[in-house]
Structure formats: structure tokens, C-alpha cells
Chains A and B, each alone.
Chain A
Amino acid sequence: AQSVTQLDSHVSVSEGTPVLLRCNYSSSYSPSLFWYVQHPNKGLQLLLKYTSAATLVKGINGFEAEFKKSETSFHLTKPSAHMSDAAEYFCVVSDRVSDKLIFGTGTRLQVFP
């Protein structure tokens, strides 16, 4: 069975400093992986996705993620945090057998001025 683990429930950074949100996955197959962002009182929005093309994936708002098969990781990064990045972030793996999307438990990002 496929699963995804987000290693931090909360991350706090200062504005202008780098962001790292960590995600490890477990998969018997070559997975599809996604990062979604949820701003307060809003629905989730796709940030980026990996589907076995380039291992470094660029998304919206300056975020990117690198697929590392040897480490079973798909960490989300951004060089310089902005106040508007404060939100909850979900790592998601697609189960290619059942076609279900399996969500991580989320990481809440706080950005301090």
C-alpha cells in the first residue's frame, strides 16, 4: 500500500529565509506525487506535481520539489519565504493501482516578519 509521511506538523520561518517542508513516501510502484496548499478558510490548490518526468519540479509562487527515489522523499522548498506563503501544505501520493490520492497529515507554515 502506498503512504505518505509529512515529517513536520509545524514549520516557522522568517520572511526572506528559505522554506523546507519535508515529505517521505512509501510506494511499490513508481509514484505520482503532488503538493497542495491550503490558505485559511479556503480549499486546496495544486502547487506542483511529479509524474516521472524531470525529478526537479517547479510549481507556482516560486516553490519547487525534488523527487529522490533513493531517499523516497519529495521535499518542498522555496528560496525566500513571503508572508503570503503562510498556509497549510499537503503532500499527496497517487496510488497507481487503485487510482486513489493519499494525503499526508499536513504541515502548517508560519512566516514571521
Chain B
Amino acid sequence: NAGVTQTPKFQVLKTGQSMTLQCAQDMNHEYMSWYRQDPGMGLRLIHYSVGAGITDQGEVPNGYNVSRSTTEDFPLRLLSAAPSQTSVYFCASSRLAGTSGRLDTGELFFGEGSRLTVL
């Protein structure tokens, strides 16, 4: 019953450093996504993917890269960390409706989050 697993749970970086947040799901979900959560702003979509080899930008993609080489994994890369990227990051997955490429029920399954601090 692992669901969506994120690592690491906590990370402190210096400005300019790079790192990768890992996300894995074992539910065979086609859709995977990354959100950031900041106080008073709800969750904002960074990048998402509707299947292996397919990624797209969300609302706040700048400063982040993603790739989707397998159905299970969807890592988020920060190439050169900035203090503005201090946040809590959530990975979420979901089923798609058949071959439509659209969300099935719309229910997202979330990981427990990764808290990132950039000094």
C-alpha cells in the first residue's frame, strides 16, 4: 500500500545548488504531477505528465525540469536553486480516462511532501 512516495522529506540547499526530488507511484497511474504549496497561495501546478515520454508545463514551471522515462517515476529537478523556490513540494498521481488523455475521476493521490529550504 505504498501509493505515492516522495524523497527526500526535507532538504536544505544553498543558492545555485541543484537537486532532484524523487516521486514514485505503484498504482499504474498514467497522470503524474508536481505542485508547490506556499502559505496563503494554495497549491500551484509546476509540471505534469500524462504518460511515459510526455511532459508539459503547469502554472509555475520556471526553474524546474521534469522527465518521465517510466510510468512509475516522475522526478523534479531544480537546476540552480533560488530562495524563491523555498516551499513544500507535492507529487500527485491519477488515472486517465481510457485513451482520452484526460483525467478520469479527477481524484489526485498525493505523496506526503518534500520541504525544501534554499538559503
B74 on the A face (CB < 8 A)? no
Q: Which of A14-22, A70-78, A79-87, A93-101 contacts B (4 or more CB under 8 A)?
A: A93-101
- Inter-subunit contact B42/A44 (CB<8 Å): no
Nearest 5 A-B pairs (CB), nearest first?
A43-B110, A103-B42, A103-B43, A105-B42, A44-B110
Q: In the complex where A43-B4, A43-B113 touch, is A9 in contact with B106 (Cβ < 8 A)?
A: no
Q: Count of B residues near A, CB < 8 Å?
A: 21
B106 touching A34 by the CB < 8 A rule? Answer: yes
User: Are A101 and B108 also in contact (CB < 8 A) when A43-B90, A43-B113 are?
Assistant: yes
Secondary structure class of chain B's binding surface, majority of residues: loop
Contact partner of A90 (CB less than 8 A), chosen from B42, B44, B107, B111, is B42
With known contacts A105-B40, A105-B42, A44–B108 Cβ distance under 8 A = yes
The minimal Cβ–Cβ distance linking A18 to chain B, given in whole angstroms, is 25
Task: Across the interface, name the chain A residue whose C-beta is closest to B4.
Answer: A43
**Interchain residue pairs with CB less than 8 A apart (21):** A9-B40, A41-B112, A42-B112, A43-B92, A43-B112, A44-B43, A44-B92, A44-B110, A45-B110, A46-B107, A49-B105, A90-B42, A94-B103, A99-B102, A99-B103, A100-B58, A101-B103, A101-B108, A103-B35, A103-B42, A103-B44
Chain B residues, Cβ within 8 Å of A103: 35, 42-44
| A16 shortest CB reach to chain B, Å | 29
Any A CB within 8 A of the CB of B2: no
Query: Please, which residues of chain A bring their CB within 8 A of the CB of B111?
Result: 43
B107: A residues at CB distance < 8 A: 34, 46, 49
Residue positions of A touching B, CB distance < 8 A: 9, 32, 34, 36, 41-46, 49, 51, 90, 94, 99-101, 103-106
Contacts of B41 in A (CB 8 A): 105
Q: In whole Å, how far is B76's beta carbon from the nearest beta carbon of chain A?
A: 15
A22-B22 Cα distance, complex, nearest whole Å: 35
Contact partner of A101 (CB less than 8 A), chosen from B40, B106, B112, B113, is B106
B45 within 8 A of A: yes
